[in-house]
Chain A
Amino acid sequence: MKVFPYPRLRGTVSLRVDSARVKAPAQPREQLDSRARSVIERAVALGAAETEDWETAVLTVSATIPSKATDPTGPWSEVVVVAVLTDRTTNTRVTSTLARETEDGRDWCGELQVLRSDIHDRAVLTVQVIATVDGVPGRIVGEAAEDWIVDVRSDVPTREQSFDIKEVGFTKGPRWLQGFSEAPWIVNASGTVPTVHINTDFEGMADVLGAEGRGPEGLVNAMLVSQMAAEVWTAVFHSAIGDLEIEDDGTPLFPHGWQGEVLREMLPDVVPERTLEDALREVHRRRVGATGWTELQPRIQYAAMRRAEVPRVLSETVRGLDKLNREDEA
């Protein structure tokens, strides 16, 4: 836990996006449908806009802070609430000061403008409470416990990013895939979002992937998808661990985006009963150190299998096969 040399605000700071609108040059403003936002997922999908080539988006942001922040007898004065939008991939940071809405100082509201050309795909939105403390202006005294995602491409407001699936014939596809012409699929974890390339030259692959239901094809489909997912988790884990940024004192840092999320999810299974930071240091030490990396592999495999729900899918497949057999006998 961080220690601050001044009093911080206790209690919950929360934010929500109340509405979003986009604008393209020489076209009317478009107010986005409420389906473009999700309070549960804490996400806005600006890709849901019908206006093509929109250049600016305006988000209406409201925040709730503990009322003691503005208590005149408290340690804080000149309190402001600021919305902060950041995209690490474009080194962009946009801030907007919200206005006090209610007498008790709990509710704050304002607008924040986002340029389409400033965001690669996802930005993170949070709020911070700023005050003058002990004569020092601009102190950060509180911040939202949970942030929002602003996605400029997606048309569905979800937090979780699933992997991308691309169907392509390997034999005549991109050069690097041509070497894998006999493989039914290949996982690539090097981009911003991991991608499973499905080989459409592999006979019957498209049919199996399109299959649904509890018939034999549907069962094979479920198995295949969970197998691919397990490979995606393993591939992302390895690529993230192999590409860590290391601080001067040797401490590895959590990566941003997908890779960071995957590590945070899997590390508790890979190195149980340790803090995430400790677990990351341990895994990094084993990979670059003299020993222990090989012994860690079953744990990585286990963590990936759990995330991809291989046990559940396999049980369901076995039961499904039983059922099909019984139907055959009857």
Chain B
Amino acid sequence: MTEKPDHLPEYLARLADEEAARFITDGLLSGKDSVPSIALNQATEPLPESPRRRLRAIRDLIDDAMYIHRDERPTQADAWLAPRLHAILRLTRAEAADSALWNYLALGVAPDFVVWRHLSETAKVVNAQYFKGPHYKQAFARLWWSAELFRNGPDYEPVVIACGNQDMLNTGLRLDVVDHRPTAQAMVRLLQRGVIRTGRDANALAKVVNTAAVTVMYDVIAQDVPRDGDAVRMWIDEGEGGLTVHHRPLPTGPAEEPAPESSVELLANNFAELFADAPVRGRRADEEEGG
């Protein structure tokens, strides 16, 4: 069985793609083997040592996620872990664009989590992209980016809602339209209102919103406030200063101004109309089931 690493250094490091590849073995992907942690840590490049990169805190959080959700489906852990991982890591977007960081988390810090969360029940293997892959797929990158793109300023509640629907998380993250905050918030709002309920609903919504964005610029009809670099930097500085993130309460994100309510509301109504006309796979069957 894939176990947690027997050697955990004090700080987070980088594991370049070309190094990571050789640790992703068939034995690991089938959840049988552990990662040789001494060899792996010899292949890493160090990052500046800082309290926000302390591995113990990150590993404790992941252990907690697996413990709390031990009797549930592992997918349930996403909504709990995404905001907390985001708050513990305190990365800039430029830092988060470095795949070597995510490789290290998946292979050097918590390969057992990746197997626990992503082992396919039917195929009995883990897709290698959960260890090393694009931001919308890799086990930890997908959680961090969903928290970054679905949080509304300091409020992580929309992240919890978005991650509660696997298709919203998986399909939504792949779309460029969610890079516009009011769009991301409007999609979450439809989940909150129960307009979007199933995974198929979420996929259909993502599709129509993305298609409409080819002809309508959401940034103009639903304006956002400018990015607040100072708020993000202060929040990261708190992490550098050694702030502890507690596990039980939902943490607080950077003190950026939330997306303007009028913009979110306008888009939510707009999307609800688009969705009402959209073809949803098996919608009729779903409705009959529900009724």
Contact = CB atoms under 8 A, between A and B. Distances in A.
A188 to B, nearest CB: 5
B215 interface: yes
Contacts of B149: 91
Contacts of B219: 82, 84, 93, 95
B197 to A, nearest CB: 22
Interface stretch (A65-73, A113-121, A319-327): A113-121
Contacts of B145: 91
A115 B216 contact: no
Given A93-B176, A95-B219, A176-B43, A117 B18 contact: no
Given A89-B97, A117-B92, A119-B94, A2 B214 contact: yes
Contact of B215 (A87, A93, A139, A245): A139
B22 interface: yes
Interface stretch (A130-138, A200-208, A270-278): A130-138
A95 B134 CA distance: 25
Nearest to B96: A90
Contacts of B232: 115, 117
B48 interface: no
B16 interface: yes
Contacts of A191: 16-18
A94 B145 CA distance: 17
Q: How large is the interface on B (under 10, 10 to 19, 20 to 34, 35 or more residues)?
A: 35 or more
B17 to A, nearest CB: 4
B93 interface: yes
B43 A140 contact: no
Interface in A88-102: 88-95, 97
A113 B215 CA distance: 25
A90 B19 contact: no
A164 B196 CA distance: 47
B227 A94 contact: yes
Instruction: Indicate the member of B98, B148, B219, B221 with the most A CB atoms within 10 Å.
Output: B219
A140 B215 contact: yes
Contacts of A140: 214-217
Contacts of B22: 176
Nearest to B45: A174
B18 A188 contact: yes
Interface residues of A, number: 41
Nearest to B148: A91
B interface majority secondary structure? helix
Interface in B71-116: 92-98
Nearest to B212: A138
A275 to B, nearest CB: 20
B200 interface: no
Given A93-B179, A190-B18, A55 B93 contact: no
A82 B215 contact: no
A172 interface: no
A115 B232 CA distance: 11
B185 to A, nearest CB: 14
A149 B217 CA distance: 21
Contact of A90 (B18, B93, B134, B217): B93
Given A91-B135, A91-B145, A116 B215 contact: no
A175 B36 CA distance: 14
A113 B93 CA distance: 16
A170 B159 CA distance: 45
B218 interface: yes
B220 interface: yes
Interface in A261-299: none
Interface of A: 2, 4-6, 55-56, 80, 82, 84, 86-95, 97, 113, 115-120, 128, 130, 136-140, 174-176, 188, 190-191, 245
5 contacts: A4-B215, A5-B215, A55-B233, A118-B227, A174-B16
